[in-house]
Amino acid sequence: MNDLDYMKLALALAERGRGWTSPNPMVGAVIVKEGRVIGRGWHHRCGQAHAEREALAGCTESPAGATLYVTLEPCCHQGRQPPCTRAILEAGIARVVVGSGDPNPLVAGKGIAQLRENGVEVTEHVLEEECRRLNFIFFHYIPKKRPYVALKYAMTLDGKIAACTGVSRWITGEAARAHVHQLRHQYRGILAGVGTVLADDPQLTCRLPEGRSPVRVVCDTRLRTPVTAQVVRTAGEVPTLLATCCGEEERWVPYQAAGCEILRLPEREGHVDLGALLDELGRREVDGLLIEGGGALAWSALEQGLVQRVYAYVAPMLLGGAGAKTPVEGKGFPAPAQAVRLGAWEVTRLGGDLLLESEVVPGVYGNH
């Protein structure tokens, strides 16, 4: 095995932390001595041991003189955990192979420099693209201090998210609906408009046996969410934020009594200012946000250039109907030349449905 093989193993280990490490990145580490893997580890949860320290603690023999493979530059500062560079130096590691640098200003090359200054050989940029892709949310959140925003919807082949009667259950099959819960586990927050709450009364939770439900955020400018809605009734179990422009504090009381937190935010063109909402979520360490509905909210986010990724579940059916709802409503862009552009699609078959996944191309209309 060579450097690429061991880094692939470290990436596979890092993947085990998906959905649990937020706002920290997923990181995997492998320690190799004389051609044998003697230690391996990954970052399990925010606040717990980093991958390098777990790999060192689990070594089957002394790591002195060994090579450490790690998907992200080792930290060199005191945070929730002590610096990994210190542990590496104390263990006598001779060589460190790094996948990608750490964008955190507290690290950002300083970890690698510290290792080199202390006589450790460092090889950089091994499977760097794959390591960065693993933590696309982290690499967005750290410099911008705003969540990475993904828009998710399910539609028919003719672009409808519901029939002309408003009925939407079920457009996609079981496999696609199960995959949605993987996304909810992966993203730290989930956002829906009050229209979706009124129409569908969703739970907006992750129902994977070993999954974590995201922080639920309802965009409700005039505070119309029923106190009987599932998101309100279960607010004591899953963190729930109501983002509103309503300043009548007496109206907040029943929601607060149920366990909801009210976020009073400024208004923008008659709706909650989404930029202000993202700023607040960023301060709360919500690093990734999944928008699940509805069409008006999707349009607002796209028009303001707030969306970084799209997940489109497409079912092999045609509904028709001039009045049937589409994934993105609003006034629309005036011409194709001004549309939000997407990169190459990643296509995944989920039962009889397809998942189309793509990142928004930076620099187009309204996109930051």
What is the set of active-site residues? 52
> Where do the H-state alpha helices sit in the chain?
3-15, 51-57, 84-91, 110-117, 128-134, 136-144, 174-186, 194-200, 230-233, 249-258, 274-283, 295-303
106, amino acid identity: L
Q: What angle do CA 238, 239, 245 make, to 5 degrees?
A: 135
Q: What angle do CA 19, 195, 357 make, to 5 degrees?
A: 40
Cis peptide leading into 147, omega within 30 of 0?
Answer: no
Q: How many whole angstroms separate alpha carbon 363 and alpha carbon 360?
A: 9
Torsion angle of the four alpha carbons 60, 61, 65, 70, in this order, in degrees rounded to the nearest 10? 10
Q: Helices 84-91 and 110-117, interaxial angle, to 10°?
A: 20
Residue 74, sorted as left (phi over 0), alpha (psi -120 to 50) or beta, turns out to be: beta
Are 58 and 41 in contact by the 8 Å Cβ rule? The answer is: yes
All residues at 6 or more sequence positions from 70 whose CB lies less than 8 Å from its CB, including other chains? 10, 27, 28, 29, 30, 51, 52, 96, 97, 98, 99
Cis peptide leading into 47, omega within 30 of 0?
Answer: no
Are 7 and 71 in contact by the 8 Å Cβ rule? The answer is: yes
Q: How many whole angstroms separate alpha carbon 322 and alpha carbon 330?
A: 15
